[in-house]
């Protein structure tokens, strides 16, 4: 089981945003983060907890291990208003978190 908090947040351009994801048991560092815009396929941002996927801006970063993980957006940009999901790839089933919606304050 994966949980995320908060389920939604309101922020302004330039804000630092932090989203947390918690696993019900240790998944070492096999935690991935996605961004999804409405009507689009998800986009991989971070893989294996802290590795930035190719082409993803450096304002996105991930940290954590074991059961507790964090996605940080250092300075929110207009294109970052979206839904964010974590997913564990440690073992099947490769469960997703319930998501965090980031909208405009």
Partner 1 sequence: EVNLVETGGGLIQPGGSLRLSCAASGLTVSTNYMNWVRQAPGKGLEWVSVIYVGGNTYYADSVKGRFTISRDTSKNMVYLQMNSLRAEDTAVYFCARMLVPPGISHVTGNDYWGQGSLVTVSS
- Residues near partner 1 (CB under 8 A) are 30, 32-34, 36, 41-44, 46-48, 51, 53, 83, 85, 87, 89, 92-99
Q: How far is the CB of 92 from partner 1 (least distance, A)?
A: 4
Angle at 48 between CA 46 and CA 81, to 5 degrees: 20
Residue 66 — left, alpha, or beta (φ > 0 → left; ψ -120 to 50 → alpha)?
left
| Shortest distance (Å) from residue 96 CB to partner 1 | 4
Our CB check for partner 1 shows the closer of 15 and 82 to be: 82
Which residue's CB is nearer to partner 1, number 17 or number 49?
Answer: 49
Cα distance between residue 71 and residue 83, in whole Å = 12
Alpha-carbon span 68 to 7, nearest angstrom: 16
- What is the rounded distance in angstroms from the CA atom of residue 65 to the CA atom of residue 48? 9
Nearer residue to partner 1 within complex by CB, 32 or 73:
32
Minimum distance between the CB of residue 15 and partner 1, rounded to whole angstroms? 23
By C-beta, is 81 or 96 nearer to partner 1? 96
């Amino acid at each position: 089981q994966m949980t995320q908090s908060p389920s939604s947040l309101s922020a302004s351009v330039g804000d630092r945003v932090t989203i947390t994801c918690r696993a019900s048991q240790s998944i070492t560092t096999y935690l991935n983060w996605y961004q999804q815009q409405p009507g689009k396929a998800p986009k991989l941002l971070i893989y294996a907890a802290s590795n930035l996927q190719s082409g993803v801006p450096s304002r996105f970063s991930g940290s954590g291990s074991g059961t507790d993980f964090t996605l940080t957006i250092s300075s929110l940009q207009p294109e970052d208003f979206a839904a964010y999901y974590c997913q564990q790839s440690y073992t099947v089933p490769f469960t997703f978190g319930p998501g965090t919606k980031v909208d405009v304050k």
